[in-house]
Amino acid sequence: CVDRYNHRFGHLRHSARLPDLGSPIIPYHTSIIHSPGAVCFEGWLAIHLLVYTIFLLNVWPLYFTQGYNTRARRTVFRIKNYCINRWISGGYSYVFEPSLEPLSAQTVGQLIATCAEDSPDRTAVVSVHQNISKTYGELNSDANKLAMSLRELGCGRGDRVGIWAPNCYEWLLTQYGTAKIGAIMVNVNPGYRASELQYALNLVGCHTLICSQRFRSSNYCEIMNDISPELLGNKNSKVIDCEKIPSLKNIVMINSAPNEPDIAPTHVTRFDDLLTPDHQFPGDDPAIQFDDPINIQFTSGTTGHPKGATLTHHSIIQNAWFVGKRSLEGLDPKGLR
């Protein structure tokens, strides 16, 4: 779907930007839905146009009559736009409508870099249980280091990087680090057992897994050994070659808290090691687009296997902006600093 979308809308996407303004914006409300199980309903196009034609043959003559009300006029207009949109998109889940407020065309990596430049000393994140507090400048610096290390591990644009951990600073940092290299972070439920973990990683083709060493009563090392001893057992090479999860090449363990002993083998890469790369991060990949996928989230799987839903840079940033804007309506901005 991503390739087909880029082919159909590449020229429209770039022409929609306004270079004479400070940052590129889109004057339309856009929504793109990508999914590992996405299906193109090209065959529905003919049916939609047929229904639209029949509707107009019966209703259009009334459009010019004196008794035709505004609601009916609006209905005809919406049906026309719907069918045109379906024809332009080829049946994909792509919807665009006029918007009163322009939307940002930044990627998540560009956004955190902009915040670090504008407010480098302002507090960005506080992890109370880890006793960690980072400014925007420090957060962006750590994200750059992680992005560089992930590149050295072989991760690139479109590769899946799983995060199997509860809420922590490393979780947030993984999202920003993967965004800067165009990789897709996969949210793995920290409560998953062996069969669920194996299914989720194979479903998305996970390349690298970043995980905690334990969560509540779960020992993540034991769970991975239940899947296959090959995941953590090879002391001679850090590159994984496991038949049960063939796409997985790297496992990175988040360092234990100071009051907790390490339970992972010593030869397994630690997360803190990724924050000391040998080379400087050259910057975000210019090929990364705002509508590229950035995050895969799984459904609960209560009625079957979990299903993956893919989010883009664009959808995450717009949701965060408008939810935050609505939540802060009527509040004094000075009291929020």
Residue ranges of the chain with per-residue pLDDT less than 50: 1-45, 63, 66
pTM over 0.75: no
Nearest in space to 192 (alpha carbons), one of 159, 226, 158, 161: 226
Nearest in space to 82 (alpha carbons), one of 44, 120, 112: 44
Instruction: Set out the domains of the chain in order of their start, with CATH numbers.
Output: 108-299+306-314 (3.40.50.12780)
pLDDT per position as a tens digit, 143-198: 999 999 999 999 999 999 999 999 999 999 999 999 999 999 999 999 999 999 99
CA distance 197 to 298: 11
Task: Identify the pLDDT of residue 13.
Answer: 38
pLDDT per position as a tens digit, 299-325: 887 788 888 999 999 999 999 988 988
